Structure 1
């Protein structure tokens, strides 16, 4: 009995430590965003704000303010680039993964795809920059969508293939025996069964594209195409850095991925139920 109680206490203690380790930085970011500027420069550091100030959030949501215009423009660009790249990557990854899993496509080709994301990003900068410059596509959201799609496609294909491998092939064979085409089978049979995998792949792909900084920094130079990671760096580039504003931008930047994660969590559960095969 004592041993069981001790194990339970240790288990809950570990859970609390992991929760604090995970949520601690985010809680401090929120605290910084509502603290007065003097609180953030005091020595020793003031952990509890002397006053609660939400004016920075109002400023970032105001289009008539320079900081607000920069933030909202970067937010729009991040949603467009991450969302567009995720959608395109999934549209290409699902049939590609099906080919590797069910049509015995060469695994050498798949490993060649994976090798492209193992190289340091800087190795691709010169040819990509030269190509996009010659096509007049620098500083455009479409350029980032193309780059991010190419970056996400190998990862999404590999993840989808691993999940399609474990799906019951008998259901697909039954559809083929009824005269269904491959496209119809993928759309009506495979996709419903693979909904949890699609949701997980979409969520992870979106987060990778959302947080990408290097390519966005190189290929963009003004508000028309800059994404949030680059905008956050711009907020900290002045002579006098307002740490509260940077923290506020960071908090606001975490909201779309957090909302997406919550939505996909429910979608994965519903997908597991919807993907069940009736006997």
Structure 2
């Protein structure tokens, strides 16, 4: 029994080590490549530890002249931050009111309507790109941050609606009943009772919407054309196509910079994310 248990633990640790290497190995190599010289990156055998590490690529990104590769990437980061933040605010506000209605208000066809919203989230982007493109073109919002925000809300809002409706349904309704007995309206109970209690779920929803918008590539590629609206994924893809053969390290540095905001959010708000997901999974 002891040998069998020992073998089980060894197997689990081995699987965990392989998964850890698969997840963090590419990220580690990205960081190493970003501080290696071009000669080290092209040398055979490969230099896994750079002999002469340099931060010149990061200086190019953050201090490069306007119109340079670094300037284009900086503009794309600003666009991504603006688009992702606006998407979180708009889809979050809409999802809070909608999710609370699904969780607390009784009306006919509630489940089919919720499934309809969720179905729009599950549809492939390719099925929606033509009607969305026509709508944005008629509104004059092609190649704008505003248009990209509205497009991103089409897939973040249904997901947040589903996530928050489960979370609100798991909260004790007696607290709201007591608040309404004390004179609060249903809307007042939402703002003064439900939302403070639901803070972990709201943080989780906001982070997931931010990450979904930050990483979105397909819609950003279709709906943006100029540096004034392009986001980080699109800028990096063009950057790879234009400059990868010249400087692999600069490409890697751009990838590292693009990874920083999601990682920072995940590390800082890890506890709220886990508690929000755990509570939202219980009805």
Output the TM-score relative to the length of structure 1: 0.90
The CA distance in 2 between the partners of 1:114 and 1:41, in whole Å, is: 48
The yes-or-no answer on 1:181 pairing with 2:185 is yes
SS at match of 1:40: helix
Q: CA RMSD in A?
A: 2.2
Quick one: distance in 1 between partners of 2:253 and 2:155? 29
Find out whether 1:138 has 2:139 as its counterpart.
Answer: no
Q: What 5-or-longer segments of structure 1 have no aligned partner?
A: 273-279
Which residue in 1 is equivalent to 2:280?
none
Structure 2 residues not aligned, in runs of 5+ = 278-283
CA distances 1:115-139 after superposition (whole Å, capped 9, x unpaired): 1122221222222222222222111
8 Å CA contact 2:33, 2:252 repeated in 1: yes
Higher share in helix: 2
In structure 1, how many angstroms separate the alpha carbons of the residues matched to 2:250 and 2:273? 35
1:261 aligned residue: 266
1:43 CA drift (Å): 3.8
Determine the C-alpha separation between the residues in 1 that align with 2:92 and 2:3: 51
Deviations 1:197-235 (A, max 9, x none): 111111111111110001111111111000000000111
2:251 pairs with 1:246:
yes
| Aligned counterparts of 1:83 and 1:168: Cα–Cα separation in 2 | 31
Instruction: Judge which range, 10-19 or 238-247, deviates more.
Output: 10-19
Equivalence for 1:275 = none
Relative distance call for 1:139 and 1:95 in structure 2 (3 A) is same
Aligned to 2:160: 156
1:5 CA displacement = 5.6
1:233-263 deviation line (CA, Å, top 9, x unaligned):
1111127342211111110001111111122
Distance 2:190 2:64 in 1: 45
CA pair 233-270 structure 1, distance change in 2 beyond 3 A: closer
Query: How far is 1:50 from its partner?
Result: 3.2
Residue 129 of structure 1 corresponds to 133
Distance in 2, Cα, partners of 1:28 & 1:167: 44
Report the counterpart of residue 230 of structure 1 in structure 2.
Answer: 234
Decide whether the 8 Å contact of 1:192 with 1:271 is kept in 2.
no
Q: Output the CA distance in 2 between the equivalents of 1:46 and 1:265.
A: 34
CA distance in 1, matches of 2:190, 2:17: 43
**Match of 1:237, SS?**
helix
Asked whether 1:64 is paired with 2:65, we answer: yes
Secondary structure class of the residue paired with 1:223: coil
Shift of 1:36: 1.2
What TM-score, normalized by structure 2, do the two folds share? Answer: 0.88
Alignment partners' CA distance in 2, 1:263 and 1:220: 31
Worse-superposed segment, 12-21 or 173-182? 12-21
Instruction: Give the stretch that moved more between structures: 241-250 or 141-150.
Output: 241-250
CA contact (8 A) 1:176 1:185 kept: yes
